[in-house]
Structure 1
């Protein structure tokens, strides 16, 4: 009886999050059975129980999907709420410094920079973009690795992926780029839909900014759309739940694909897959990373392409993905041309 009550309680708490994204809902539904185990729920006075941590993570994820960055320097950021003209300034630890108008947040931001509280960016910047239904924290393992191995400033770009269309996310990215010094060289690392945000930004980007882009690494990009999204479109419930960029991916790929530009700078693609004709998902034909098929990641004109045995959601923490991302950012090519896929990641 206690298990049933707990299951219902968890469902009520996470249902608003389920509505935010079709893709993220899959992972949340999978997570529910983990709360029905036999572990005691006695609280620990010195450490949060893992159930409390799950709820905290859901709260943080919900908050991340409500705000988009419009200025980022040394991972201090000004964000705009996706459904209003409300702005806020966050420090590098994501604590709210001030809430208000863009003018008030910008004034505070400028003052902190003059005081030396916000360090200026380096001459080279790498902007890391998360995927659909995720927040900036999803990219943390990769971000930490790049910071430890590069002299460039590693900045994360957060956007309210399922709450606004792709064009809005591209516009927000443009605002962040406009806030960087005009002499800064820029590279991108995108996961999943983050790559589509960059490609959509290119449609309206100013040539002088595009000329400053050095390289880009695409991780699991749905460059040719997503069969999984098309499967979701056939389900009435999932189709109605989808909103913003998720809805575009599910229902309007033919329209948004025409607005996506091929990068005019060097870019490499890392796809997840087993290296066979089965992949990680029984729902998808051919090799895949459980979310995106290998063939869907491909884009004509890429400077390098690599398949690594890793699932879509685990790319950022995979050491091979991290090393190859670093290799392309530094050298313009991947270190390896082939990965052995036996035994594959389970």
Structure 2
């Protein structure tokens, strides 16, 4: 049929030929839709992560489950959560099994994507620059043992579940997995991500944890801090000029821990940030958004508002609201994120990093204004974090208890393919992620609409709704204010009354 169609296109089409072409096209479209609608959901364990060399996976099973990955037993916390790390050169399929006492074992195959790394050959070097002096070998071995013991120490922390933030923002001068071949001999791969910033630049905790090593001068890494985030996940900070914490200190995300330097075997001031899961070296760059994807500040004002759009939208959808907030005296940072490509836990890192970066830029009070899914990302991060200063949150049309639209379409493969994994976490059942979130301890105002922006979904709702989210679902028990607007879900942020209410709440902590 394809060959015939191609030949016909080179002839003067008759009316009958055009009808045949239209029928053929309609049949192809119908076949494609049927294929998408009948695709089975991927047989994947519950969780999120980056399935590639140097990546990770955070999984969720039933409490008291036994988990094995690639033949090895995996620690599981009291809630059934666990984390896997993938070696630099891992590729292909690896078995994962989850066994709950009294139930049949679940078996999965994780497909780990192969990665390419930058390899650099350097010949003709003085051997003394390649190998350390013999008189330093004993010191090097002793320090390696101290680092190994610090990394193996078990601590009580849930920092490993937090969306990570960059410990320092700046130019990336080195990446995970790169390797040099010196005088024909391969050196160890580079296990960290290097941020080139001046000596003395503050280093902050990317997530909460317990300090297990704080050394001012190790042979290779100079000033070194190890921060254990729990479950064996450890961040290492190398070449520091100053260490501001001690072993045993418990630190929170965003807390000052050190200063950048060029100590140890270093050719210039930079932060070498590394992440390990037990003995597996993970790419720290996979745990945070790329810095160039973070929003930039616009407008004047001592206080700043970070805006976060909804599912399937872009930062442009929040532009008019951002302009109104600038007129009200706020600076703004309008954060975009790939809402249809990642899960809620992964996407919440965009919120965490946007807030953290503007705070480090000197804005002591940071507010959040969110639309739809953006409010869930904020809630996910704020379970274990706080807004700087007297920061407040306004949520527009948030599916705080899920959306009936997800209930109706979430099990359809074509919907999953189009809308992505975060959408599927917004169902209304008790097991959905959105209904598992803990309360947040910041001033919150909620505004939702009562006019449907999507009348084709009206049949799915009982009671007032905005076309995507019911009024009942938008409510939040810990909210300090709740307002109804005669607006639809899609464009509620452009409603004049809504824009006024948002600025009023951020200023006063309540609605007029």
The TM-score with structure 2 as length reference comes to 0.41
**Partner in structure 2 of residue 127 of structure 1:** 306
**Partner in structure 2 of residue 160 of structure 1:** 338
Q: CA deviation at 1:246?
A: 1.7
Whether 1:143 and 2:322 are equivalent positions in the alignment is yes
- For each residue in 1:149-187, what CA deviation from the matched residue of structure 2 results, as whole angstroms up to 9, or x when unmatched? 22x211111111111111111223222222223661011
**Partner in structure 2 of residue 227 of structure 1:** 404
Q: CA deviation at 1:248?
A: 2.3
**Partner in structure 2 of residue 178 of structure 1:** 356
**Partner in structure 2 of residue 95 of structure 1:** none
Structure with higher Rg: it is 2
- For each residue in 1:8-67, what CA deviation from the matched residue of structure 2 results, as whole angstroms up to 9, or x when unmatched? 8xx99xx9xxx9xxxxxxxxxxxxxxxxxxxxxxxxxxxxxxxxxxxxxxxxxxxxxxxx
SS in 2 for 1:127: strand
For the 8 Å contact 1:203–1:259, the answer to whether it is kept is no
Match of 1:189 among 364, 369, 372: 369
Range with greater deviation from structure 2 (131-140 or 170-179): 170-179
Alpha-carbon distance between aligned partners in 1 of 2:196 and 2:459, rounded to the nearest angstrom: 48
Higher relative contact order (CA 8 A, sep 6+): 1
Alpha-carbon distance between aligned partners in 2 of 1:328 and 1:222, rounded to the nearest angstrom: 20
- For each residue in 1:312-339, what CA deviation from the matched residue of structure 2 results, as whole angstroms up to 9, or x when unmatched? 011121111111111111122222xxxx
For the 8 Å contact 2:305–2:332, the answer to whether it is kept is yes
- For each residue in 1:64-123, what CA deviation from the matched residue of structure 2 results, as whole angstroms up to 9, or x when unmatched? xxxxxx78xxxxx99x9xxx99xxxxxxxxxxxxxxx9857989xx9xxxxxx9889753
With over 3 angstroms needed to count, the CA separation of the structure-2 counterparts of 1:312 and 1:120, relative to structure 1, is closer
SS in 1 for 2:354: helix
Greater share of residues in strand: 2
Alpha-carbon distance between aligned partners in 2 of 1:309 and 1:163, rounded to the nearest angstrom: 31
Q: CA deviation at 1:249?
A: 2.4
SS in 2 for 1:197: helix
Q: CA deviation at 1:263?
A: 2.6
With over 3 angstroms needed to count, the CA separation of the structure-2 counterparts of 1:314 and 1:240, relative to structure 1, is closer
Aligned residues: 240
Alpha-carbon distance between aligned partners in 1 of 2:439 and 2:390, rounded to the nearest angstrom: 13
With over 3 angstroms needed to count, the CA separation of the structure-2 counterparts of 1:106 and 1:258, relative to structure 1, is farther
For the 8 Å contact 2:402–2:435, the answer to whether it is kept is no
Match of 1:305 among 468, 482, 488: 482
Alpha-carbon distance between aligned partners in 2 of 1:300 and 1:132, rounded to the nearest angstrom: 23
Alpha-carbon distance between aligned partners in 1 of 2:495 and 2:341, rounded to the nearest angstrom: 29
Extract unaligned runs of 5+ from structure 1: 20-69, 72-76, 86-100, 111-116, 336-346
**Partner in structure 1 of residue 449 of structure 2:** 272
Alpha-carbon distance between aligned partners in 2 of 1:256 and 1:215, rounded to the nearest angstrom: 23
Q: CA deviation at 1:264?
A: 1.2
The TM-score with structure 1 as length reference comes to 0.58
Alpha-carbon distance between aligned partners in 1 of 2:372 and 2:350, rounded to the nearest angstrom: 18
Extract unaligned runs of 5+ from structure 2: 1-17, 37-164, 177-191, 202-295
Over the aligned positions, Cα root-mean-square deviation in angstroms equals 4.2
- For each residue in 1:210-230, what CA deviation from the matched residue of structure 2 results, as whole angstroms up to 9, or x when unmatched? 453521111000001111110
Alpha-carbon distance between aligned partners in 1 of 2:323 and 2:488, rounded to the nearest angstrom: 20
Range with greater deviation from structure 2 (224-233 or 209-218): 209-218
Alpha-carbon distance between aligned partners in 2 of 1:258 and 1:241, rounded to the nearest angstrom: 23
Superposed, which structure 2 residues align to 1:311-326 within 5 Å? Answer: 311-326=488-503
Greater share of residues in helix: 1
For the 8 Å contact 1:269–1:297, the answer to whether it is kept is yes
With over 3 angstroms needed to count, the CA separation of the structure-2 counterparts of 1:314 and 1:147, relative to structure 1, is same
Alpha-carbon distance between aligned partners in 1 of 2:342 and 2:467, rounded to the nearest angstrom: 25
Q: CA deviation at 1:142?
A: 0.8
SS in 1 for 2:468: coil
For the 8 Å contact 1:202–1:261, the answer to whether it is kept is no
